[in-house]
Amino acid sequence: MAIYGYANVSSSSQSLVIQQEALERSGCDVIRSEKATGTKLDGRPELETIIQFARPGDAITVTRIDRLARSVRDLASIVARLEAKNVSLRVLEQPIDTSSAAGRCFLQMLGVFAEFETAIRRERQLEGVAKAKAEGVYKGRKPTIDAERIRALDAQGIGASAIAKELKVSRASVYRLLQGSDLHPRAEEPRG
């Protein structure tokens, strides 16, 4: 039986060290880590690798349930895949071990609370942003695209694809900016 550890943080500024150390102390044979959002399974190749590599009788360990999934739907999907392979899930900071009926029950209850907590956090964040905007404190993030440079290149007759390539931005961003201004008559012209 192999024990696989999975550590995950949702932003590049967060550290994986605490989770990795806890997984090592718990006896994990292999630990895979990644910095990716836990709101969906897509885009988390390390987790997918562990799930695919695990064999019957193996266990996958995480420090907390929210390191694995942030919605009940994704959690249920992951657990169903593990159960189909006869692989158990262990969570260190909560008494969860899906090799027992009590562990499976507790896992489902915690999943509901984790999703609720994420929704509440999102609501509080949106309320805070709305309040800051109303008070004139929050102006949004700083623009990452040099609008004047795009307009200047457009005025020189350079196409959107070339502008996007030169400024290392998406072509859609260039079109969006140019169509929002009066400076882009070619946006409506058919291609010849």
- What is the per-residue pLDDT across 47-91, written as a single tens digit (0 to 9) for each? 999 999 999 999 999 999 888 886 777 888 888 899 999 999 999
Cα 6 from Cα 65, distance rounded (Å): 11
pLDDT digits (tens, 9 = 90+) for 82-121: 999 999 999 998 878 888 888 878 777 777 777 787 888 8
Range of the domain at 164: 147-182
Instruction: State residue 4's pLDDT score.
Output: 96
- The tally of domains found in the chain comes to 2
pLDDT confidence tier of residue 192, bands split at 50, 70 and 90: very low
- Which residues are the active-site residues? 10
Instruction: State residue 178's pLDDT score.
Output: 84
**Residue 48 · residue 42 · CB < 8 Å:** no
The DSSP element (H or E) to which 126 belongs, if any, is: helix 101-134
Instruction: State residue 38's pLDDT score.
Output: 55
Work out the angle at residue 64's Cα, subtended by the Cα atoms of residues 60 and 69, and round it to the nearest 5 degrees: 75
CATH number of domain containing 158: 1.10.10
In-domain check, residue 152: yes
Pair (27, 103) in one structural domain: yes
| pTM (two decimals) | 0.56
**Residue 147 · residue 176 · CB < 8 Å:** no
Pair (100, 44) in one structural domain: yes
Instruction: State residue 41's pLDDT score.
Output: 62
In-domain check, residue 136: no
CATH number of domain containing 77: 3.40.50.1390
Work out the angle at residue 74's Cα, subtended by the Cα atoms of residues 94 and 118, and round it to the nearest 5 degrees: 65
In-domain check, residue 72: yes
Question: What is the SS3 assignment for 35?
Answer: strand
The total of other beta-carbon atoms located within 10 Å of residue 115's CB is: 19
